[in-house]
Protein backbone atom coordinates (compact mmCIF):
# COMPACT_ATOMS: atom_id res chain seq x y z
CA UNK A 1 0.00 0.00 0.00
CA UNK A 2 1.34 3.39 -0.94
CA UNK A 3 2.18 5.64 1.94
CA UNK A 4 0.14 8.77 2.06
CA UNK A 5 1.29 11.82 3.84
CA UNK A 6 -1.41 13.83 5.43
CA UNK A 7 -0.98 17.52 5.08
CA UNK A 8 -2.21 19.29 8.18
CA UNK A 9 -4.92 21.67 7.21
CA UNK A 10 -5.57 24.85 9.04
CA UNK A 11 -9.15 25.83 8.96
CA UNK A 12 -9.60 29.46 8.23
CA UNK A 13 -12.91 30.98 9.01
CA UNK A 14 -13.44 34.49 7.90
CA UNK A 15 -15.73 36.35 10.22
CA UNK A 16 -18.04 38.51 8.18
CA UNK A 17 -19.51 41.23 10.30
CA UNK A 18 -22.31 43.30 8.94
CA UNK A 19 -21.85 47.02 9.41
CA UNK A 20 -24.21 48.39 12.07
CA UNK A 21 -27.29 50.01 10.57
CA UNK A 22 -28.45 53.54 11.25
CA UNK A 23 -31.99 54.87 11.09
CA UNK A 24 -32.74 58.12 9.30
CA UNK A 25 -35.48 59.95 11.19
CA UNK A 26 -37.65 62.80 9.91
CA UNK A 27 -38.67 65.34 12.56
CA UNK A 28 -41.82 67.40 12.40
CA UNK A 29 -41.78 71.20 12.54
CA UNK A 30 -44.49 73.86 12.25
CA UNK A 31 -43.14 75.71 9.20
CA UNK A 32 -42.04 73.44 6.35
CA UNK A 33 -44.89 73.00 3.85
CA UNK A 34 -46.17 69.43 3.57
CA UNK A 35 -45.63 69.35 -0.18
CA UNK A 36 -42.01 70.46 0.26
CA UNK A 37 -41.35 67.59 2.70
CA UNK A 38 -42.87 65.17 0.17
CA UNK A 39 -40.61 66.50 -2.62
CA UNK A 40 -37.49 66.07 -0.46
CA UNK A 41 -38.46 62.51 0.51
CA UNK A 42 -38.99 61.63 -3.15
CA UNK A 43 -35.71 63.22 -4.25
CA UNK A 44 -33.35 62.00 -1.54
CA UNK A 45 -34.91 58.73 -0.44
CA UNK A 46 -36.34 57.67 -3.80
CA UNK A 47 -39.86 57.27 -2.43
CA UNK A 48 -42.93 57.27 -4.62
CA UNK A 49 -45.56 59.94 -4.01
CA UNK A 50 -47.80 57.69 -1.92
CA UNK A 51 -45.05 56.49 0.41
CA UNK A 52 -43.59 59.99 0.78
CA UNK A 53 -47.04 61.37 1.71
CA UNK A 54 -47.54 58.58 4.26
CA UNK A 55 -44.12 59.18 5.88
CA UNK A 56 -44.64 62.96 5.95
CA UNK A 57 -48.08 62.60 7.58
CA UNK A 58 -46.71 60.16 10.16
CA UNK A 59 -44.01 62.68 11.19
CA UNK A 60 -46.62 65.46 11.14
CA UNK A 61 -48.97 63.56 13.48
CA UNK A 62 -46.49 61.80 15.76
CA UNK A 63 -43.56 64.24 15.79
CA UNK A 64 -41.09 61.95 14.05
CA UNK A 65 -40.94 59.07 11.60
CA UNK A 66 -38.22 56.52 10.82
CA UNK A 67 -37.65 56.73 7.08
CA UNK A 68 -35.16 53.98 6.32
CA UNK A 69 -32.04 52.21 7.59
CA UNK A 70 -28.62 52.33 5.93
CA UNK A 71 -24.94 51.86 6.74
CA UNK A 72 -23.76 54.79 8.88
CA UNK A 73 -22.10 56.90 6.16
CA UNK A 74 -25.06 56.53 3.79
CA UNK A 75 -27.55 57.42 6.55
CA UNK A 76 -25.56 60.50 7.59
CA UNK A 77 -25.02 61.68 4.02
CA UNK A 78 -28.71 61.36 3.14
CA UNK A 79 -29.86 63.04 6.37
CA UNK A 80 -27.52 65.97 5.67
CA UNK A 81 -28.51 66.21 2.02
CA UNK A 82 -32.22 66.29 2.92
CA UNK A 83 -31.71 68.78 5.76
CA UNK A 84 -29.67 71.01 3.41
CA UNK A 85 -32.49 71.01 0.83
CA UNK A 86 -34.80 72.35 3.55
CA UNK A 87 -32.24 74.99 4.51
CA UNK A 88 -31.90 76.07 0.86
CA UNK A 89 -35.68 76.51 0.77
CA UNK A 90 -35.54 78.56 3.97
CA UNK A 91 -37.20 75.87 6.10
CA UNK A 92 -36.19 74.25 9.40
CA UNK A 93 -36.82 70.76 8.01
CA UNK A 94 -34.62 68.34 9.95
CA UNK A 95 -33.42 64.78 9.46
CA UNK A 96 -31.35 62.99 12.06
CA UNK A 97 -29.74 59.55 12.42
CA UNK A 98 -29.42 57.03 15.23
CA UNK A 99 -28.05 53.52 15.52
CA UNK A 100 -30.59 50.75 15.14
CA UNK A 101 -31.30 49.02 18.52
N1 LIG B 1 -46.00 70.17 10.16
C2 LIG B 1 -45.75 70.78 8.86
C3 LIG B 1 -46.93 71.65 8.47
O4 LIG B 1 -47.99 71.53 9.05
C5 LIG B 1 -45.51 69.71 7.77
C6 LIG B 1 -44.38 68.82 8.11
C7 LIG B 1 -44.60 67.45 8.16
C8 LIG B 1 -43.13 69.33 8.42
C9 LIG B 1 -43.55 66.58 8.49
C10 LIG B 1 -42.08 68.48 8.74
O11 LIG B 1 -41.30 66.28 9.10
C12 LIG B 1 -42.30 67.11 8.78
N13 LIG B 1 -46.75 72.49 7.46
- In this structure, are residues 62 and 16 in contact, taking their beta carbons and an 8 Å threshold? no
Question: Ligand 1: distance of its center to the CA of 91 in Å?
Answer: 10
- In this structure, are residues 100 and 21 in contact, taking their beta carbons and an 8 Å threshold? yes
Q: What is the pLDDT of residue 10?
A: 64
25 assigned to some structural domain: yes
Question: Ligand 1: distance of its center to the CA of 49 in Å?
Answer: 16
1 assigned to some structural domain: no
User: Which residues of the chain fall below pLDDT 50?
Assistant: none
In 3-state terms, what secondary structure has residue 76? helix
5 assigned to some structural domain: no
- In this structure, are residues 98 and 27 in contact, taking their beta carbons and an 8 Å threshold? no
7 assigned to some structural domain: no
Expressed as residue numbers, the domain containing 73 is: 21-99
- In this structure, are residues 91 and 40 in contact, taking their beta carbons and an 8 Å threshold? no
φ, ψ at 37 (rounded to 5°) = -60, -45
Asked whether 29 lines ligand 1 (CB < 6 A), one says yes
Smallest CA-to-CA distance from 33 within 97, 95, 89, 80 is with: 89
**How far is CA 90 from its chain centroid?**
24
Check which CATH number belongs to the domain holding 89 and give it: 3.30.1390.10
10-39 per-position pLDDT tens digit:
667 788 888 899 999 999 999 999 999 999
Domain count, the chain: 1
Amino acid sequence: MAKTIDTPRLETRTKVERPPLYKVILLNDDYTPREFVVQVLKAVFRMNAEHAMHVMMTAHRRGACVIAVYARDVAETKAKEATDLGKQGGYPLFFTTEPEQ
